[in-house]
């Protein structure tokens, strides 16, 4: 009995919200277990909400890619990956922002619980796909950060969008926030490898390592520019599309 109680308590602490407190007095066991089950169910419902937003947007991206392929004989999207942020990562972000750990705060202030990464061959593809997506009536742009035009200090490049996408559930229509990161293959090569080396490890890199990482990012950016020029010369892409 004691072990079971301990188990309930540990699993409850793992959960995202601390707004439901579970008593661990032995006589309160039935309601404690009930509260835990409710919490689990609520969490699953919320995750379904985010998962549905991802599905809706990935379907749109697939359609855009196929349509473009039919008209232009090439794919502007190399690949699409999606993820739901882990509970640990959500909690870390909320704690960092000083937010009380409640479902409401998660849904109102953490906009990258659902994330999609879109990898494109050319820079023009990145902007074109982004524009086509947000021009759809059921996709609302909430925020954008153009780290391609203004790369981060360490050389990170990507176009970040926070969008609200409409999803129809059995009884109502809801707007789901999703973060979309769009970048070229070269930008993704840098970001993925740099992530392996450093991101989130909070490891202190020497000035020299920073310099080398930045240099690699610049080499990738130069390669992107050259491929972009080639694509324009070969009329595979249009410089007019370099607009956000």
Smallest distance from ligand 0O2 to CB 162, Å? 8
Smallest distance from ligand 0O2 to CB 209, Å? 13
CA distance 15 to 218: 42
H/E stretch holding 22? none
Closer of 5 and 157 to ligand 0O2 (Cβ): 157
Query: Which residues are at the interface with ligand 0O2 (CB under 6 A)?
Result: 85, 111-112, 145, 152, 154, 156, 160, 191, 194-195, 199
Smallest distance from ligand 0O2 to CB 152, Å? 5
Closer of 121 and 155 to ligand 0O2 (Cβ): 155
User: How much helix, strand and coil, in percent to the nearest 5, is found in the chain?
Assistant: 55, 20, 30
Smallest distance from ligand 0O2 to CB 67, Å? 28
CA distance 106 to 121: 34
Closer of 94 and 167 to ligand 0O2 (Cβ): 94
Here the tokens at position 56 are 């809706």
Closer of 58 and 154 to ligand 0O2 (Cβ): 154
> Do the beta carbons of residue 167 and residue 174 sit within 8 Å?
yes
Sequence-distant (≥ 6) Cβ neighbours of residue 218 within 8 angstroms: 155
Closer of 5 and 176 to ligand 0O2 (Cβ): 176
Best CA proximity match to 117, nearest among 65, 174, 184, 51: 184
Smallest distance from ligand 0O2 to CB 55, Å? 19
The C-alpha angle with vertex 115 and arms to 239 and 81, in degrees rounded to 5, equals 70
């Amino acid at each position: 009995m004691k072990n079971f109680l301990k188990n309930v308590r540990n699993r409850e602490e793992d959960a995202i919200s601390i707004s439901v407190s579970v008593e661990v007095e032995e006589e309160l066991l039935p309601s404690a277990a009930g509260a835990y089950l409710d919490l689990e169910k609520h969490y699953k419902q919320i995750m379904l909400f985010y998962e549905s937003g991802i599905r809706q947007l990935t379907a749109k991206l697939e359609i855009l890619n196929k349509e473009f392929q039919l008209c232009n004989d090439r794919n502007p999207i190399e690949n699409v990956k999606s993820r739901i942020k882990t509970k640990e990562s959500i909690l870390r972000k909320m704690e960092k922002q000083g937010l009380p750990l409640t479902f409401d705060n998660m849904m109102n202030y953490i906009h990258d619980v659902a994330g999609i990464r879109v990898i494109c061959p050319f820079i023009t593809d990145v902007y074109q796909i982004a524009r086509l997506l947000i021009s759809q009536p059921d996709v609302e742009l909430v925020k954008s950060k153009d780290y391609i035009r203004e790369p981060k200090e360490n050389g990170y490049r990507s176009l970040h969008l926070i969008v609200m996408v409409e999803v129809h559930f059995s009884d109502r229509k809801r707007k789901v926030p999703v973060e979309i990161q769009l970048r070229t293959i070269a930008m993704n090569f840098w970001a993925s490898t740099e992530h392996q080396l450093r991101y989130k490890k909070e490891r202190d890199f020497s000035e020299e390592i920073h310099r080398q990482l930045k240099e690699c990012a610049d080499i990738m950016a130069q390669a992107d520019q050259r491929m972009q020029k080639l694509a324009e010369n070969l009329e595979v892409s249009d410089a007019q599309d370099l607009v956000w």
